[in-house]
Amino acid sequence: MSVRRTGPGMPARIPVAGTDPISLDSAPTDGSSGSGENGISRRLLMGLGAAGAGTLLMRPAFASPAAGPAEGEGVGFAVVGLGLLSQGQILPGFHSAKRAKLTALVSGHPDKATRLAAKYGVARDAIYTYENYDRIVDDPRIQVVYIVLPNAMHAEFTIRALKAGKHVLCEKPMATSVADAEAMIAAAKAADRKLMIAYRCHYEPLNLAAMRLIRSGKLGKPRMVVTQMGRQASLSDPADVWRLDMKMSGGGALADMGIYGINGARYLLNEEPVEVRAWAQTDRKDPRFREVEDLIAWQFRFPSGAIANGSTSFDYAPTMSYQVECAQGRLVADPGAFYNGNRLTVQTGYQSQVQAIHEIDQFAREMDWMADVVRGKAPLVSTGEEGLQDMRLMKAILDSVAQGGATVSTAFGYTRAIDPAKVVDVPA
């Protein structure tokens, strides 16, 4: 079985269609202006002058020596759970990472861990099991623990890492319940350590370009966001067996794929929904869907008047795509959240143009960002609170489904602390 996937459950690579370059994705960090072919000011897109960037990007470093390495050294990461994502994306991602370095592995399978440690240059005495995991407290090679376990295990292993004085990068969805997500945030506060949720799209050039284009006003007022996130799940894939188990996944396709659409609508519109209605269509005779819902469709209403229609399914042909319909233009990201091969088309009037997007290793980028957070050189963008908001929204969707599509309030009072479009640069 190949472990290199294009997106969750996706094949390794999809062909990249021809592009017509315009400058949307490479806004300078020096605050200089400069226009894309659509006449979009880079300064507008970036929304970030040098002074503003400095304030946001420079945060005080931690006092504790255990919290971060000296200037110039890489930040040591322990990867917990050596499954498809770790083997296919994260471990190879360290080759491209500049400030994150792989220093430890945690696994329930010592043979696999030993083989991967040899392959990636991890010391044998830096291999841990789930049982002796708490001993990482005494390992100065580890500053960050990257949790890549089934969703139901995120909370326990995050909290244990935080108690050991480590910072945590945790895969999405951050947990399987609102209560667990809240406990993770509380543990990070109590330990005075950073908790970042691995929302890779917050650091990815296409999604940043889409956010900046909408923020620029060039396309006019955003009216409608449509997101489709799904794929075929299979009980013959061990990585899907737990995803089809309600207790382990916290919600099947919704928790695995739909979360990209929920988070995406929020970062594209840069606001939070106030209510949701949702419906599910699930064939309980299909052995995959004995516990979790299959197709879920929802509709969020936002304070600006924008509406977001989202859908997710484990019985879809693979897709991670979205459209944003604005008053004077529209953008289509299809695919918009694969590991590579993403494609952004922007339409103004009757003319549409495929944008040139600088493709990167998204996992290297995200891990480097976390390394910079730990070193006090970058703000924490995808916070625990950001993960908690999606947990609350997924719960609201499932509550609405359970009530046959009734309107459920989502006015939780959350506001994103930092807009990725304002602070995350696109690496050269």
Q: Which is nearer to ligand NDP, 46 or 136 (CB)?
A: 136
Minimum Å distance from CB 71 to ligand NDP? 29
Contact of 99 with 73, CB cutoff 8 Å: no
Distance between CA atoms of residues 120 and 118, nearest Å = 6
Q: Which is nearer to ligand NDP, 171 or 294 (CB)?
A: 171
Q: Is 218 in the site for ligand NDP (CB under 6 A)?
A: no
- 34, 108, 110, 404: residue in contact with ligand NDP (rule CB under 6 A): 108
- The count of chain residues that interact with ligand NDP, using the rule CB under 6 A, is 23
Q: Is 115 in the site for ligand NDP (CB under 6 A)?
A: no
- 171, 325, 361, 372: residue in contact with ligand NDP (rule CB under 6 A): 171
The continuous run of DSSP H or E covering 329 comes out as strand 329-333
Which residue among the candidates 172, 194, 218, 422 is catalytic per the annotation?
Answer: 172
Which residue among the candidates 133, 146, 199, 260 is catalytic per the annotation?
Answer: 260
Amino acid identity, residue 124?
A: R
Exposed, middle or buried: residue 358 (CB in 10 Å: 0-12, 13-18, 19+)? middle
339 belongs to the catalytic site: no
- 36, 69, 83, 222: residue in contact with ligand NDP (rule CB under 6 A): 83
Minimum Å distance from CB 136 to ligand NDP? 15
Distance between CA atoms of residues 354 and 331, nearest Å = 10
Tokens of 404: 């046959």
Q: Which of the residues 380 through 399 are near ligand NDP (CB under 6 A)?
A: none
Q: Is 124 in the site for ligand NDP (CB under 6 A)?
A: no
Edge-first strand listing for the sheet containing 275-281: 351-354, 344-348, 329-333, 315-326, 222-232, 307-313, 295-301, 275-281, 408-409
Q: Which range binds ligand NDP by CB under 6 A, 57-65, 83-91, 345-353, 396-404? A: 83-91
Three-state secondary structure along 343-375? CEEEEECCEEEECCCCCCCHHHHHHHHHHHHHC
Q: Which of the residues 139 through 158 are near ligand NDP (CB under 6 A)?
A: 148-151
Which residues are at the interface with ligand NDP (CB under 6 A)? 8, 81-86, 107-109, 112, 148-151, 171-172, 198, 200, 238-239, 242, 256
